[in-house]
Structure 1
Amino acid sequence: MDKSLKNHHLGEVAFRLEAKKSETSPNETDLYLYGDIGDGWWGETITARGVINALNEIETDVINVHIQSFGGEVFEGITISNLFKQSEKTINAYIDGVAASSATIIAFGADKIIMPVNTQFMIHNPWTYVAGNADELEKVVTRLRKSEDSFVATYMEKFVGTEEELRELLKAEEFLTAEEALAYGFADEIIETVKEPTAGEDIKARLMNKYGQRKPEDQKNEKMNDKENKKSLLGNMANVFN
């Protein structure tokens, strides 16, 4: 018996499909798509119908779609992606943690894909499970190949390389860093996640915000410079008193 085309079960994400006015930009709406994509056997999932309902309720011209998902059903992801493409609103996709498999297809429906520096992006060929005779299995292989072509057609809209290179990347099934996704054309912008310290933060928060992103070699160089400065100061003092 042929099942719906799905992708590997890569991880667990708590479900969330919610639209609310942006706290920082009142003329924008944040739409959260967290969890598996398509019909699921356990709990709630992200569906095209749910996204349609959310889009119909959103009144702002800008929608910031926040994605945290390991993927799910192929054609549900394609449907949601096309809903975004067909929308007259400006849609920005933010990868909050990971966008994998069908979730990346959804992101490709946005006008812009934005990734914080510590997030990841994963693409691979569609996957399914099936039971049946040889004729049924051959039909499933044909469906999978056609689904691969649908994925390639979608990714080639932004991918900087050749189709052959893209197909190799799909076979590799590797998680891409934000930097790699940007280099390959899958992302449009990388943003830092470190916040500027505020007056109400305690000393640990202020220190982490100020020094937490420095590289070890930077700290080593600063210490060496401090030592050299101290030696120079002592040398000058010695010259004064000689």
Structure 2
Amino acid sequence: MADDTRTPAQADQQRNDEARKGKPKVVASDDLKSLAQAQRPRGALGRIKAEGENPRADRPGALPMPHRRSVSAYTPAPAIERWNADAAGVRAVEYGDNVITMFGPIGEDFWTGEGVTAKRVTAQLRAIGQRPAEVHINSFGGDMFEGIAIFNVLREHPQDVTIKVLGMAASAASIITMAGNRVEIGAASFIMIHNCSVMGGGNRHDFAELAAFLAPFDQAMADVYAERTGIDAKTIAKMMDDETYMSGSAAIEKGFADALLSAEKTKVDEAAKAADHQVNELRAMELQLVASGMSRSDARARIKKIKGTPGAALDTDATPGAGADDWLSDAAGLLSTIRS
């Protein structure tokens, strides 16, 4: 017998063609396929896994990382203010040893020395090991590019990843949410999507170059949202243009989440809420000062001077008479002046 010069794919195709010979074509097959696709649950990525299949097959593809790490994308102040009003301090009632918490800003946080980073998430996943992971998110967002890196880290976890939105998953945090095999969201929680937002300076050529640099990332994010939800990418892009907030039920209806999270599984930590409000005054003030024309370093130096402490991190355990009330009052006044 002569050597078979066909590739394995060609051989498989020929066998399939031969097997189909003489069999009548089912006229309604295309209609049945369309009907089955239409009845697929919103928010469920891919088909139901068989035992032993790779959970990563149910997640969107990896997102591109920027070649210019000198550019940082930050959540605008209005989103922080809404998080303050609706989501600050929301936590889960119970935690397991396979839970990763993402409370607060995405990326290194100058004001607390904390923040959610890809490096920290990688270490936590390594500790969880070959087990399903659960991610609790309550974040207004932060550095979009750090959010992309965290998304890529989570989607590579070899076991199922369940993401629970406890208060808000806005901006960069909404991207991270898309890395879950399953997404649960509180009825009073929100998911917010928008275009990549940055602050910068320069002439028109600099801004034209920056716009061209950002466009592929907005498109990549729109593609991930579209893959998860089944909504076409153009409609998603318009939602991003409009900076769209979705409550729990709306997020499920549109396919961004799979199920409601029981209210009994969440609580409001009043101490955490107070600390969140305090440090967010600093973050909002920093953004306002930068928007007024200051460099980020100058804005932080000005705030630190008003704050009256030698370090950057906020002392959330300040005692009465230690000056915390005084600097917060001064900071609030400055912020009000800037906004007006």
Per the normalisation by structure 1, the TM-score is 0.71
Please state how far the C-alpha of 1:56 moved relative to its aligned partner. Answer: 1.1
1:133-144 to structure 2, matched below 5 A, reads 133-144=203-214
What secondary structure, in the 3-state scheme, does the structure 1 residue paired with 2:166 have? strand
Amino acid at match of 2:74: K
Higher RCO (CA 8 Å, separation ≥ 6 residues): 2
Distance 1:41 1:3, change over 3 A: farther
Separation in 1 of the partners of 2:174 and 2:204? 32
Separation in 2 of the partners of 1:29 and 1:65? 9
In the other structure, the counterpart of 1:29 is 98
In the other structure, the counterpart of 1:5 is 73
1:107-126 to structure 2, matched below 5 A, reads 107-126=177-196
Separation in 1 of the partners of 2:107 and 2:262? 31
The 4+ residue runs of structure 1 with deviation greater than 4 A are 12-15
Separation in 2 of the partners of 1:164 and 1:3? 26
Q: Which structure shows the higher helix fraction?
A: 2
In the other structure, the counterpart of 2:215 is 145
Amino acid at match of 1:151: M
Does residue 184 in structure 1 map to residue 254 in structure 2? yes
Separation in 1 of the partners of 2:125 and 2:160? 12
Encode CA deviations 1:9-32: one digit per residue, 9 max, x unaligned.
Answer: 3225889xxxx962xxxxx61211
Amino acid at match of 1:187: A
2:147 corresponds, among 64, 77, 83, to 77
Amino acid at match of 2:248: A
Separation in 2 of the partners of 1:14 and 1:132? 35
Please state how far the C-alpha of 1:7 moved relative to its aligned partner. Answer: 2.6
Is the 2:164–2:261 contact (alpha carbons within 8 Å) kept by the matching residues of 1?
Answer: no
Does residue 38 in structure 1 map to residue 107 in structure 2? yes
Separation in 2 of the partners of 1:119 and 1:133? 40
Separation in 1 of the partners of 2:158 and 2:105? 26
Is the 1:179–1:190 contact (alpha carbons within 8 Å) kept by the matching residues of 2?
Answer: yes
In the other structure, the counterpart of 1:226 is none
Separation in 1 of the partners of 2:110 and 2:101? 21
Q: Which structure shows the higher strand fraction?
A: 1
Separation in 1 of the partners of 2:88 and 2:124? 19
Does residue 175 in structure 1 map to residue 228 in structure 2? no
Please state how far the C-alpha of 1:159 moved relative to its aligned partner. Answer: 2.1
Encode CA deviations 1:138-181: one digit per residue, 9 max, x unaligned.
Answer: 11111221221121121111123222211111111132111110
Amino acid at match of 1:4: S
Is the 1:38–1:45 contact (alpha carbons within 8 Å) kept by the matching residues of 2?
Answer: yes
Is the 1:159–1:166 contact (alpha carbons within 8 Å) kept by the matching residues of 2?
Answer: no
Please state how far the C-alpha of 1:88 moved relative to its aligned partner. Answer: 0.3
What secondary structure, in the 3-state scheme, does the structure 2 residue paired with 1:65 have? strand
What secondary structure, in the 3-state scheme, does the structure 2 residue paired with 1:140 have? helix
What secondary structure, in the 3-state scheme, does the structure 1 residue paired with 2:75 have? coil
Separation in 2 of the partners of 1:147 and 1:42? 27
In the other structure, the counterpart of 1:204 is none
Aligned residues: 186
Separation in 2 of the partners of 1:7 and 1:154? 19
Deviating more after overlay: 182-191 vs 160-169: 160-169
Q: Is there any run of 5+ residues in structure 1 with no aligned partner, and where?
A: 23-27, 196-242
Separation in 2 of the partners of 1:131 and 1:144? 15
What secondary structure, in the 3-state scheme, does the structure 2 residue paired with 1:143 have? helix
Separation in 1 of the partners of 2:88 and 2:150? 19
Separation in 1 of the partners of 2:188 and 2:116? 24
In the other structure, the counterpart of 1:47 is 117
In the other structure, the counterpart of 1:225 is none
1:162 corresponds, among 228, 232, 237, to 232
Is the 1:158–1:185 contact (alpha carbons within 8 Å) kept by the matching residues of 2?
Answer: yes
Separation in 2 of the partners of 1:150 and 1:33? 23
